[in-house]
Amino acid sequence: MKRSEKASGVWKQRLSQIAIGLFLIALMVLSIVQFANNNATNSGGLTFNKHDFTQVQDGLSVTAGGKQLTVQDFPVAQNASTLTFQSVYGLIIPVEAQPGISTILKNATYIVTTFDPMADAQRLQFVDMARFDLSQQLPNTYSGQLVNSTAYPGVPVATCADAVNGAVVIQLIVTNQTSSNATIAAAGDCITATGDPYGLVAAKDYLLLSYYGVIPDGG
């Protein structure tokens, strides 16, 4: 393939990702407005485990552990290892998590998120959102990818094999399942969050909220 043709292909892929991203931003704004309207009559506000959530432009804001967090999901029910979220996208999303996830994160010297860059562009938008939020709201968190790709030049390869010497790796695995849910499991210092696009965002919020003590460790 000629270099110009390869560059053109990469540019078209980028344009496709940008277009899908703009659509998802518009969808998020509309969903948040609907979420706010649905909860406008709740004079007690949104509270979980003595933490108050407020609606903001890009989701929900909650302060915990001296950190102001922004998430897209509000925890509404807890049962054993499963925590059920109400999403600003209008979905009820159960997240099943292995106990001890937050302990692994808190003991990390640094954290690396990683993902499959070969997933389709629409699902990658949700992966990008999840890994960006984690990198901004967890300390010492960096981005990697499972394999090299032209779509993410300069992003280093990171796998579970790199979860050594104090490093914790978070694999963000997006699926094409039709029902919204997610699971979070750990093998050593490698954490794997798996779910459909909305479920993966909820799993991201689980990781943030458990790390800062909004939800108990393990659900």
Lateral strand order in the sheet of 73-79: 73-79, 82-87, 92-97, 182-187, 190-195, 167-174, 110-115, 141-143
Could you read off the pLDDT of 37-81 as tens digits, one per residue?
444 444 457 999 999 999 998 899 999 999 999 999 999 998 878
Helical segments of the chain, H only: 3-38, 101-106, 121-137, 197-211
Q: Which domain holds residue 162?
A: 1-219
pTM above 0.85, yes or no: no
Query: Residue 4: pLDDT band by 50, 70, 90 thresholds?
Result: very low
Integer Cα distance of 93 and 199 in angstroms: 6
Query: Residue 5: pLDDT band by 50, 70, 90 thresholds?
Result: very low
Q: How far is CA 75 from the centre of its chain?
A: 15
Token output for 153: 């030049």
Q: How far is CA 169 from CA 41, 58, 135, in A?
A: 41, 26, 12
Token output for 61: 């804001």
Could you read off the pLDDT of 96-141 as tens digits, one per residue?
999 999 999 999 999 999 999 999 999 999 999 999 999 999 999 9
**Per-residue pLDDT at 177:** 85
Domain count, the chain: 1
For residue 6, give the nearest of 152, 153, 150 by alpha carbon.
150
